[in-house]
Amino acid sequence: MKKKIIGYTSGVYDLFHIGHLNLLKNAKGLCDKLIVGVSTDELVSYKNKEAVIPHLERMEIVRSIKFVDVVVPQEDMDKFKMWERLKFDVMFVGDDWFETPKWKELEDKFESVGVKIVYFPYTKGISSTKINETLNFIRSK
């Protein structure tokens, strides 16, 4: 029997948009079971940001996507800690992290336990940050 491939990705998933959907759809295409970590409000604020949509609602939105099998809270930036908990086989991440010092180090760490990291290209022209900036601009008028 062929081993099922467990995939993992994580994010804030605030102001859900087509880029989020593309990532989840592409990730699911490369694994049998896709687990998605959704950053808690506390973790988002640690990054000096604030989510527009509360954590539990963001988790429910992501849980409702047909490509997602399991949703878990992401309470820590440490991806390896999450692997220790979930034992996934492949991790999916945006290509803006490709070849950064942090992710080169993570690649080495994950390689030692047989986890592959797949970088997906960002969907051009869309991001939650851009949406937030536009909303803030409109509100300021």
Query: Rounded to an integer, what distance in angstroms lies between the CA atom of residue 18 and that of residue 64?
Result: 15
pLDDT tier at 13 (50, 70, 90 boundaries)?
A: very high
Annotated catalytic, 49?
yes
Query: Which residues in 14-123 belong to E strands, given as ranges?
Result: 33-39, 70-74, 90-94, 116-120
Catalytic residue among 25, 33, 49, 116: 49
pLDDT of residue 94: 85
Residue 47: which pLDDT band, with cuts at 50, 70 and 90? Answer: low
Residue 35 counted as domain residue: yes
Measured between alpha carbons, how far is 72 from 91 in angstroms, rounded to an integer? 15
> Residues 95-138: pLDDT tens digits?
877 777 888 889 999 999 999 999 998 776 665 556 556 555 55
**What would the pLDDT profile of 77-106 be if each residue is shown by its tens digit?**
899 999 999 999 999 998 877 777 888 889
Active site residue 130: no
Domain annotation covers residue 1: no
Give the structural domain span for 115: 6-140
User: What would the two tokens of residue 3 be?
Assistant: 């081993």
Domain with residue 39: its CATH number is 3.40.50.620
Catalytic pick from 3, 28, 33, 47? 47
Asked if the structure places residue 97 within a domain, the reply is: yes
Calculate the average pLDDT of the chain.
88
Distance between CA atoms of 28 and 44, rounded to whole angstroms? 25
In a domain, 32, yes or no: yes
What does the CA dihedral 77, 114, 85, 100 come to, rounded to 10 degrees?
0
